[in-house]
Chains A and B, each alone.
Chain A
């Protein structure tokens, strides 16, 4: 079995009286796509934010690539990356300029070749000199994913990366991510509200509800455990408290 690249122990986050994440523990193995599933307010985004060091946990331990996140933030963050449909890029800069800024930020060697290659992989090379403001949502998502792969991350955190994409572009995006994973052994933590997408993408799923892990396993294991025909049925059962 591949070794763990993310180890989370009793991770807790309280916002005053509200416990957003309650003593969750899990691991992500090298090369694995781990799906994080749960209704709104389950604690998915808060967990990702804690794993990226932008939200401070109330308690627990996060180790990424064998290092403690609190003590080795810079070293860890230079080897991981993030993309979300809820985050954008400077609108007045061109696609190439935006990617160049982030390449410089991550100290990417041979950034020109790297950017050109990623533009080609995501089929956005013709948009190289287009101002970001003029991109469609699907194009912006692909630019954001290209940004997330600039530093050859060992771990990629994707928070609903295909939200607001049409089915065709979303399917293409998933295919690209799977290809990249197959080629590079990239580890991915993935959240989505699209259940079919989660079934398709995830090697393993963590099911969160009210800040706690209520189940973990492969999509098939989870469906069997909750006696659902698909993840959507399982999701609805959990969200409506019928489990």
Chain B
């Protein structure tokens, strides 16, 4: 791994965002709309949920954390799609750039996007709803890191599919993360799911993160068990996603598809 090659690609994306304000929409526009719509719905429902005093905290916290996962996944996919859209992929892979360096750069870009989106949503949630995510405490930090890693794993998997099947598979960049949402227990606990879905949810790192978040809010204790599960599953998922990407990259080279990915 050569740092200068990773930073070259990170710079390329930062310059793109500087030059193209419309690309800031993915960091500002969608999180803002989500926060406005779901935030006011939460406030409204909270009036009738007196038996659940932490309802607003649960819901807005979940909303902000889900956005972190989604932005992390998007950070990977959009960085890759940018190379396809600009017909630049071949220029990159005829250079000494390695696939690991390429993925590392997309991960760094995704962290930058997540930080940007998180600052905005956390700030707005505080301004609009007096909701302070930090009241949940520092124990949230390791869970947030796990959400980012889950987003990376989904993003790398999606990118591998787009690499293999071309732009026709581009829709997955926007949709695949949401496939995990029903079993990630984002807005409700795993216990409300039917038994077979609970089994699936237990295999999803994000479900353990959101269960952990709820445990933190309810008990103020640190749910180490959920964190270990999330981290363990993330290690497996991320490793599998990277292996899958490398496998797809090998197939694409055998089939001579790299030059045609953008067509």
**A residues with CB within 8 A of B:** 13, 15, 20, 45-46, 49, 52-56, 73-75, 77-78, 81-82, 84, 86-94, 97, 100-102, 104-107, 131, 147, 157
Contact = CB atoms under 8 A, between A and B. Distances in A.
A74 B256 contact: no
Nearest to B91: A87
Interface of B: 2, 4-5, 7-9, 11-12, 15-16, 19-20, 82, 86-88, 90-98, 250, 253-256, 258-259
A104 B16 CA distance: 16
Given A54-B90, A157-B94, 20 more contacts: A13-B256, A15-B255, A15-B256, A46-B256, A49-B259, A54-B253, A55-B254, A55-B259, A56-B253, A73-B96, A84-B90, A86-B259, A90-B16, A93-B12, A97-B12, A101-B9, A101-B11, A104-B5, A104-B8, A104-B11
Contacts of A87: 87-88, 90-91
Contacts of A73: 96
A49 B260 CA distance: 12
B95 A90 contact: no
25 contacts: A15-B256, A49-B256, A49-B258, A54-B93, A55-B258, A73-B96, A74-B98, A81-B94, A82-B90, A82-B91, A87-B90, A88-B87, A88-B88, A89-B88, A90-B88, A92-B19, A93-B16, A104-B5, A104-B7, A104-B8, A105-B4, A107-B2, A107-B5, A147-B91, A157-B94
Nearest to A54: B258
A138 to B, nearest CB: 17
B56 to A, nearest CB: 40
B93 A78 contact: no
A10 to B, nearest CB: 18
A182 B253 CA distance: 35
Contact of A90 (B5, B12, B94, B254): B12
A103 B254 CA distance: 29
B12 A55 contact: no
Contact of A55 (B7, B8, B98, B253): B253
Nearest to B8: A104
Contacts of A15: 255-256
A49 B96 CA distance: 14
Contacts of A45: 259
A33 B35 CA distance: 60
A82 B87 contact: no
Nearest to A132: B86
